[in-house]
Amino acid sequence: MGSAYTDYPPSLDSAQQDFLVQKIKDWSAQNGLMIRPGHIPKDVDPNGVLATNAPVTVFPSPFPRSCFEQAQGLQTLYNKLYAEITCDVEWLSKIMADLIEVDDFVSRLWKVHQAVDKEGYAQTLSLGLYRSDYMPHTGPSGLSLKQIEFNTISSSFGGLSTRVAALHTELLNSPGYPSHPLLDSNKPPANTAVQTLAAGLAAGHTAYGPSKSTPALPKCILFVIQDGERNIFDQLAVSEQLERVHEIPVFRLLRSEILEHTSIPASNPARPLVYTPPYAKDAPYEVSTVYLRCFYAPTDYVSERDWEARTHLERSAAIKCPTVLNQLAGCKIVQQVLASTEPDHLKSFLSETDAAVIESLRDTFAPQYDLNGRGRELALNPATAANHVLKPQREGGGNNIYKTDIPDFLRSIPESEWKRWILMELITPPDAKNVALRSDGEVLSGNVISELGIYGTILWDQKTRGRILHNEEGGWLLRTKAKDVNEGGVATGFSSLDGIILF
């Protein structure tokens, strides 16, 4: 392990660095490895046309092959697990009960489900485009794979991650790239994230069946996106694959314009979702699949109109990616409950799976606790809190409290709100270094840690539990950040997109 990290990456002189930085910038512009810049004054870019290279590493990072292959091998099982959890509404409601009491966002999501359930769901098929995130953990027995979180909504960067793999593959053949034993006759593993994500959406489109409108309408897939979306090029890589390879029309719709441009005919009990492009009002489409690249955080719900829009989509016949229930299944509290063996929920959900495979999946769990009993003791003691991270129970990353900040933070909020948080033992990745090119052109080098994401897609029938129509693993994401940085968003500038060199 030491030799893979201690003398890596190779050093760069100023001429090599200047050459590689310019090559990366040019390659990124030519191949769509781009993001919209943030914090640009309106008078500088009044029409929103500027784009810049996504933050990337100059070198692919070493990653243990055994951990990488384990993560790949478990993804379809993880897909199945979260489909099973979503199907068990009674179990999910019990797990969510305490969180619903104290978290307004989770409570509102649950109310959306209840409202649609009361009316009756028009669509029983559910689609998941997932990403399971991990780090290699340095323990007494060597390196092992530990899961950070499981993403059930808006699992991003599949498009740009494939670009980074191609970039590093090309750089390895560049005459200005310094040599290193790890790079000799080695290249990043194949990255099929775009193909996998697009194939999942195409499976939903096909499974939707014929138009439910009268007269029949052409069908499409609808990407629902955030206002001011910066990560547009990542999404375009997937929509291009759908249009070019699968020959499926794809439209992008702002979250704020859902109610303006989509409708559900009141006279049609099947409740098809009809999208009318504002630039082609005489050419409506029926939406087979709604792919949400928004609605995952409270900030996406600016007003009651946004909650009305989410309910509007949920009650339609379009296949949702994800449904509200599947989004809720991604809450940290589910991850924490699965990590417990008393009772063994994991074994219950995967009862038909070989015991050894279940244990391989269980081994990826880091110790996690609610803030009762043992978790409370660990969180309030500065000495033990130093080895933990406090995470919000809801789905998605960010807003974490780290190490010795945990005791004071908990004492600063009412104890009744502690149910909103989960305590997780910190994962200790191996020491590593790399060089990163930020979106603003700054080059940084130093100690880093990397996080691996594995993509998977699954389509199942919520009504007929266990009926899986599509289940696939494919593609990866590596995000690398400075070791002393806690948060890890790429679009927010904390992390860089990275490639992988297996060892």
Q: Please tell me whether 304 is known to bind a ligand.
A: no
Q: Please tell me whether 231 is known to bind a ligand.
A: yes
Query: What's the rounded Cα separation, in Å, for the pair 134 and 454?
Result: 8
Q: Please tell me whether 75 is known to bind a ligand.
A: no
- The question of whether 304 is a catalytic residue gets the answer no
Q: Please tell me whether 143 is known to bind a ligand.
A: no
Query: What's the rounded Cα separation, in Å, for the pair 400 and 153?
Result: 19
Q: Please tell me whether 400 is known to bind a ligand.
A: yes
* DSSP at 279: T
Q: Please tell me whether 95 is known to bind a ligand.
A: no
Instruction: Choose, from 84, 149, 286, 472, the residue flagged as catalytic.
Output: 149
Q: Is there a contact between 268 and 308 (Cβ–Cβ < 8 Å)?
A: no
Q: Which two tokens stand for residue 470?
A: 């599509």
- The question of whether 479 is a catalytic residue gets the answer yes
Instruction: Choose, from 84, 314, 395, 472, the residue flagged as catalytic.
Output: 395
- The question of whether 362 is a catalytic residue gets the answer no
Instruction: Choose, from 320, 332, 419, 420, the residue flagged as catalytic.
Output: 332
Q: Please tell me whether 397 is known to bind a ligand.
A: yes
Which run of H or E residues covers position 492?
none
Sign of CA dihedral 57, 76, 458, 93: negative
Q: Please tell me whether 159 is known to bind a ligand.
A: no
Q: Please tell me whether 308 is known to bind a ligand.
A: no
Q: Please tell me whether 226 is known to bind a ligand.
A: no
Query: What's the rounded Cα separation, in Å, for the pair 356 and 461?
Result: 27
Q: Please tell me whether 14 is known to bind a ligand.
A: no
- Of 133, 159, 138, 143, which Cα lies nearest the Cα of 75? 133
Instruction: Choose, from 53, 80, 128, 131, the residue flagged as catalytic.
Output: 131
Q: Please tell me whether 114 is known to bind a ligand.
A: no
Q: Please tell me whether 390 is known to bind a ligand.
A: no
Q: Please tell me whether 294 is known to bind a ligand.
A: yes
Instruction: Choose, from 28, 132, 151, 439, the residue flagged as catalytic.
Output: 151
For the chain, how many residues are written?
A: 503
Instruction: Choose, from 156, 288, 471, 496, the residue flagged as catalytic.
Output: 156
- The question of whether 465 is a catalytic residue gets the answer no
- The question of whether 374 is a catalytic residue gets the answer no
Instruction: Choose, from 391, 439, 475, 488, the residue flagged as catalytic.
Output: 391
Query: What is the torsion angle, in degrees rounded to the nearest 10, for the CA atoms of residue 272, residue 273, residue 277 and residue 281?
Result: 40
Q: Please tell me whether 490 is known to bind a ligand.
A: yes
Q: Is there a contact between 87 and 458 (Cβ–Cβ < 8 Å)?
A: no
- The question of whether 268 is a catalytic residue gets the answer no
- The question of whether 403 is a catalytic residue gets the answer no
Query: What is the torsion angle, in degrees rounded to the nearest 10, for the CA atoms of residue 36, residue 23, residue 158 and residue 59?
Result: -120
Residues 6+ apart with CB under 8 A from 18: none
Element counts in the chain: helices (H) and strands (E):
17, 21
Instruction: Choose, from 479, 488, 493, 499, the residue flagged as catalytic.
Output: 479
Instruction: Choose, from 159, 396, 493, 499, the residue flagged as catalytic.
Output: 396
Q: Please tell me whether 153 is known to bind a ligand.
A: yes
Q: Is there a contact between 369 and 422 (Cβ–Cβ < 8 Å)?
A: yes
Q: Which residues carry a binding-site annotation for substrate?
A: 131, 153-156, 229-231, 235, 293-296, 479, 490-491
Residues labelled as active-site residues: 131, 149, 151, 156, 332, 391, 395-396, 479
Q: Which residues carry a binding-site annotation?
A: 131, 149, 151, 153-156, 229-231, 235, 293-296, 332, 391-400, 402, 424-427, 451, 479, 481, 487, 490-491
Q: Which residues carry a binding-site annotation for Mg(2+)?
A: 149, 151, 395
Q: Which residues carry a binding-site annotation for ATP?
A: 149, 332, 391-400, 402, 424-427, 451, 481, 487
